[in-house]
Amino acid sequence: MDMLMFQLQRNSTIPLYQQLYQEIKEAIISGTISVETKLPSKRKLADYLAISQTTVELAYGQLLAEGFIESRPRKGFYAQPVEELAYLDAPQDEPVIVDHVDYTFDFNPGKIDTPSFPFSTWRKIAKEVIDETNHEMLHSGHPQGDEALRQEIARYLFQSRGVVCEAEQIIIGSGTEQLVPLLIRLLPKTLVFGFENPGYPLTHSIFSHYDRRAVPIQVDQEGINLKELETLQADVAYVTPSHQFPTGSVLSATRRSQLLNWASAGDRYIIEDDYDSEFRYTSRPIPALQSMDKSGRVIYISTFSKSLMPSLRIAYMVLPKRLLRAYQQTFLHYSSSVPRLDQQVVARFMKDGHFARHLNRMRKLYQKKLEKLTSSLLVYAPAVKISGEQAGMHIVLTVETAHSEKELIELAKQSNIRVFSLQSYDVHEKNVSPPRIILGFGGLSEKEIEQGVEHLMACWKIPSKKSSSSFTR
């Protein structure tokens, strides 16, 4: 085949391999490239178009997957007959206008430090997994997730969180919001779920969506209120004991024991969402509730969203053996919702020691960011007070002001700063005074944190104090 002059736009936002794929595809459909025509080798086409062989390889791979070309061993790639599909024009709907704001300083508690992610290592492992792929990888795999990943998670949980479990007890899912509904279906419909208030809003939404009775339980500086849990006759407690979201409180040792006794004495369950447990700054990480459980009443849930990246949709749940049998019977024919490639990459990333090293680096990095945030706020005392700084990637700032939380949020937004209201996570949305504001620091550099605090205090008209003696936590 004579070389075709494909029109590749190098300044386009569309990747070159997609452009090349589209050009060849259209040429085959239109007949410009006739059936059984041999395509140029990847090297020749790459040299001719002054692009990388990888670009050509990706384009050919897509054409091959869709049946536009055929690969013949030791011969090359050949154009194949393709019936053109009848396409219907999609209806032209009115565009949806989304109010998107690109904030100068975004104190989002869900953001991570993306520049510190080990992309080269991750890319290398992903390539190794792909290169070693066999036909088995094309199948759906074990319904609970790949055994290799479950074994690595079990090993990691025991070493870092004290969680005692076997790989068989672990369920891999695409997120907490996917695993919790599976868990709910294992428990009797008559059970009452107690959830932290204020707390993660998705939890309450899941219970409501599956028509389960759920009651909000107040949270104080020691964690969930046990007396209220008993008064409201809850059967299942959903807690984030390591770093409660959003208050940042840590479940005290006394309440941990009381909560475990509450569960074992009344044939009840505890769902332990180990949110933010990887990052603790004032002392060694507190062992998980599951590690203290002697009666099989704790269901442990966690994710890789903070420790690796939010876009990696991998979470895991550790079931007590009494619930494991019910799970295996109920979801016998289910497939794992997480791609096997992702599972294999994470498993090898953990097995080779990269995960542990990455966590250590990020723990030190986030501690420096936390120190920068607290020191930047120090000079504005006593008008501001910090809490929840022992762990995690956000703090709670109590502000002595005449403004409400909503007014503070709006003032910050007008200055192109994004902060979050704590009362928005309260199901009652009661107006609390003084207002409490959530400040995440994971996605900002130390310089941005310092500048962001300065601009935030300026828009709230909180003056800086030279003396820090009155600063309290």
How far the first Cα of the chain sits from its last, in Å, is: 74
Taking 90 as the threshold, does the pLDDT of residue 12 lie above it?
A: no
Taking 80 as the threshold, does the pLDDT of residue 83 lie above it?
A: no
Domain 363-459 belongs in CATH node 3.90.1150.10: yes
Looking at residue 14, its pLDDT comes to 82
pLDDT in tens, 407-426: 999 999 999 999 999 999 99
Taking 80 as the threshold, does the pLDDT of residue 97 lie above it?
A: no
Q: What proportion of the chain, given as a percentage, has pLDDT over 70?
A: 92
91 versus 110: the higher-pLDDT residue is: 110
What residue ranges do the domains of the chain occupy? Answer: 16-79, 140-352, 363-459
CA distance 241 to 276: 10
Q: Tokens 């053109």 belong to which residue?
A: 84
SS3 at position 404: coil
7 versus 146: the higher-pLDDT residue is: 146
Give the pLDDT mean for 379-399.
93
Looking at residue 469, its pLDDT comes to 45
List the structure tokens of 276: 């933010």
261 versus 471: the higher-pLDDT residue is: 261
List the structure tokens of 330: 């109920």
Looking at residue 349, its pLDDT comes to 96
Cβ count within 10 A of residue 65: 9
CA distance 409 to 427: 19
Looking at residue 30, its pLDDT comes to 83
SS3 at position 440: strand
Looking at residue 331, its pLDDT comes to 87
CA distance 401 to 81: 72
In total, the chain counts a number of residues equal to: 473
Looking at residue 466, its pLDDT comes to 58
Q: Using an 8 Å Cβ cutoff, are 197 and 216 in contact?
A: yes
Domain 140-352 belongs in CATH node 3.50.50.60: no
Which residues of 56-189 form beta strands (DSSP E)?
A: 69-72, 76-79, 105-106, 170-173
What does pLDDT average to over the chain?
A: 88
Cβ count within 10 A of residue 431: 11
Q: Using an 8 Å Cβ cutoff, are 53 and 42 in contact?
A: yes
Give the pLDDT mean for 90-96.
58
Looking at residue 460, its pLDDT comes to 96
21-26: which pairs have CB atoms within 8 A and are 24 or more residues apart?
21/58, 21/59, 21/62, 21/63, 24/59, 24/63, 24/68, 24/69, 25/63, 25/66, 25/68
Looking at residue 93, its pLDDT comes to 59
pLDDT in tens, 262-293: 999 888 999 999 988 888 887 676 789 999 99
176 versus 93: the higher-pLDDT residue is: 176
Q: What proportion of the chain, given as a percentage, has pLDDT over 90?
A: 58
Q: Using an 8 Å Cβ cutoff, are 365 and 194 in contact?
A: no
CA nearest to 390, candidates 183, 184, 249? 249
Give the pLDDT mean for 123-137.
81
User: pTM for this one?
Assistant: 0.77
Q: Where does the pLDDT of residue 74 fall: very low under 50, low under 70, confident under 90, or very high at 90 and above?
A: confident
CA distance 33 to 304: 47
Domain 16-79 belongs in CATH node 1.10.10.10: yes
| Residue 122 φ/ψ, nearest 5 degrees | -60, -45
Taking 70 as the threshold, does the pLDDT of residue 300 lie above it?
A: yes
Q: 47: part of which helix (H) or strand (E)?
A: helix 42-49
pLDDT in tens, 422-468: 999 998 877 778 999 999 999 999 999 999 999 999 999 999 875 44
List the structure tokens of 411: 């003032």
CA distance 465 to 34: 78
Looking at residue 96, its pLDDT comes to 53
